[in-house]
Structure 1
Amino acid sequence: MPEQRSEVAVTKVLTSVRGRAGVDAAFAARVEPGARAMRILYVRGGLTKSLSGLTIASGAGLGGKSLVLGRPVRVDNYLAARGITHNYDHAVEKEQLRTVAAMPVRGDGAPRYVIYVGTRGDKALGDRWLDAMAPVVRELEQEIAVADEVERRLSALAADVHARRDPAVLTAGEMQEIAGELAELAGAVHDASLRQRLEALHDRLAPGHAQQPWRERPDLGLTPREVAVLEKVALGGTNAVVAEGLGLLPNTVKSYLKSAMRKLGASNRVQAIVEARNLGILP
């Protein structure tokens, strides 16, 4: 279940990155357990099916190198590039890709995916690929972390109830404690179907319980990164200070802030902070 939700997020990331970076193709490989290999499962902007289903060994090709190093890597001319193996040139050549970049995505302390972007012809990526990929990859890692934590907690709750066998042995205090944990999880989840599942469990355990903050907060479409930027700005941080604190570029912070202002209907950062506080998005 958490893997399914993560992969839905991955497909959205590919579409987003392709548009933001202005690249011809974007694709993602899921890392196998043990990180010895990965398999390309999702392709956006492909000319052929040469990449789909391709299994890549750890350390091989550009993505395999990114996987081993644990950081983004790029080559400006893939077929002539030094420093990488050329096991998969046949697939890259069929796609007519020239400049290619790869970035690993981590979850629960281990690599889970590698995201690629590529351009055809003489179009260079420059640095915009990193500007486009870094924030969405961080958001994806956050989504993966949330999905993993939700599944761990739900599994633990299910195991606890199953071990007791008789629901009657749960005290009222224990029921409220479990309901409170479900409420906390629901507030952290951005997946609508998962949130509904948590709400249903909460209502079964604590019918009529009034503390349901995730239902009271309006859905303005603010991303976790936009909220994080607003939180830093509310503390008085400049774009440069916020960028350093969140590991972003100042221009990226500016973009997040503009997007948050638009969603909140604010014309400046002060209005955005006031509106976010009024809505309960910020403390």
Structure 2
Amino acid sequence: MSETPLEVPVTDALRRIRRSSGVSLAFGGVVTGQARLLLKHFVGTTKGALSGLSVDTGHGLGGKVLTVTRPMVVNDYLETPQITHRYNEAIATEGLRAVAAAPVIVERRVVAVLYGALHSDNPLGGRALDTLTTEARVLEQEIAASRAVLESEACVSPDVDGMRDAMALAYTRLRLLARTVDDDQLSDEIARITEGLLEQPGRGREPLISFTGREQDVLSLAALGYPNARIAGELGVTVETAKGYMKAAMRKLGAGTRLEAVVLARRAGVLPG
């Protein structure tokens, strides 16, 4: 089963937490429509006892975090008086002792909770809690930006949306065609036609951000909804090379996702539409 747009950045955040904080297990989940936290993302050593666990508001560490909407840490999960112990059996099966959790809050609502835990008797230090909290804030920004992009896309009328897709396809095909012709004059003319598709009333001709030709190519193909493998095939490069071009373009745009990069590229005048 594929991950939802919210769950993908949750998994990425857990990988960074596991790598940077020193915890032996990073895990988390998203809040469901029943205001419960469903644990389904794990990075690190796990026996699977927590996988699929539905955490009720107010119970356990995650449920407490849902209630108080702030990060918390307990250095002996099974004995601490700070939380209820409804989920002690699963925690004991996993062999976890110190556990920290941080809420991910978007539009004043907790949408996910990130955890970091140790299998040893060592307490969780400030570094681990700081990392967890920072990643929760980063995730909030990513989710908020993605939602804003989706809402912006939804506001475009079907006719305008279809016209924009047709322009994007023409732009991409013309860019690729220009690379295949041997006639310099013809190639220059194709390039002029291609750049003309970027001109829009009320916007200067020169984009504010400078991209390499390959970065523009991957952005234009991503705008058509092509996955990395197809982008690589169209450009005659490896998938990793295509990913590298995309990451470079996203970095220049300050985008957290491919969808956001496409929208920002259009606004910057790098793509038609």
One fold, TM greater than 0.5?
yes
- For 2:9, the aligned partner's letter is A
Report 1:9-28 matches (<5 A): 9-28=9-28
Q: For 1:96 and 1:46, locate their aligned partners in 2 and report how far apart those are by CA, in whole Å.
A: 10
- Sort the Cα spacing of 1:161 and 1:26 in 2 relative to 1 into closer, same or farther, 3 A: same
Aligned partners of 1:27 and 1:40 also within 8 Å: yes
Q: Deviations over 1:143-179 (max 9, x none)?
A: 11100000111111146858xxxxxxxxxxxx7589x
Give the TM-score of the pair, scaled to structure 2: 0.61
Gaps of 5+ in 1: 163-174, 214-283
- Cross-structure match for 1:148: 147
Q: C-alpha distance in 2, partners of 1:33/1:141?
A: 18
Partners of 1:159 and 1:194 in 2: how far apart? 20
Matched with 2:96 is 97
Moved more, 126-135 or 17-26: 126-135
Q: Compared with structure 1, are the counterparts of its residues 141 and 94 closer, same or farther at alpha carbon in structure 2 (3 Å cutoff)?
A: same
Greater C-alpha radius of gyration: 2
Quote the Cα distance in structure 2 between the aligned partners of 1:114 and 1:20.
Answer: 18
- Other structure's SS at 1:105 match: strand
Distance 1:177 1:189 in 2: 24
Secondary structure at 1:97's aligned position in 2? coil
Displacement after TM superposition at 1:211 (Å): 3.3
Match status 1:212 vs 2:212: no
Compute the RMSD of aligned alpha carbons: 3.4
Report the Cα offset of residue 193 of structure 1. 5.2
Q: Equivalent residue of 2:97, what SS?
A: strand
Alignment of 1:105-254 (within 5 A): 105-158=104-157, 161=160, 187=253, 189-192=255-258, 194-196=260-262, 199=265, 202=266, 211-212=269-270
State the partner residue of 1:84.
Answer: 83
Deviates more, 1:80-89 or 1:96-105: 80-89
In the TM superposition, what whole-angstrom CA distance separates every residue of 1:221-252 from its partner, at most 9, and x where no partner exists?
xxxxxxxxxxxxxxxxxxxxxxxxxxxxxxxx
Contact 2:99/2:118 (<8 A) preserved: yes
Q: Report the alpha carbon displacement of residue 68 of structure 1 after superposing the two structures with TM.
A: 0.7
CA distance 1:69–1:6, shift in 2 (3 Å): same
Supply the AA of the counterpart residue of 1:153.
S
CA distance in 2, matches of 1:158, 1:16: 39
TM-score, length-normalised on structure 1?
0.59
**Deviation digits for residues 99-154 of structure 1 (CA, Å, limit 9, x no counterpart):** 01110001233111000111112122121112212222211111111000001111
Q: Is the contact between residue 6 and residue 143 of structure 1 (CA under 8 Å) also seen in structure 2?
A: no
Give the number of the structure whose residues are more often helix, by fraction.
Answer: 1
CA distance in 2, matches of 1:114, 1:105: 6
The offset of 1:95, in angstroms, is 0.6
Query: What percent of counterpart residues are identical?
Result: 34
Q: Give CA deviations for 1:48-77 in whole Å, capped at 9, x if unaligned.
A: 111111100011100000011000111111
Structure 1 contact 21–132 (Cα < 8 Å) conserved? yes
Contact 1:73 1:101 in 2 (8 A): yes
Residue number in structure 1 paired with 2:49 = 50
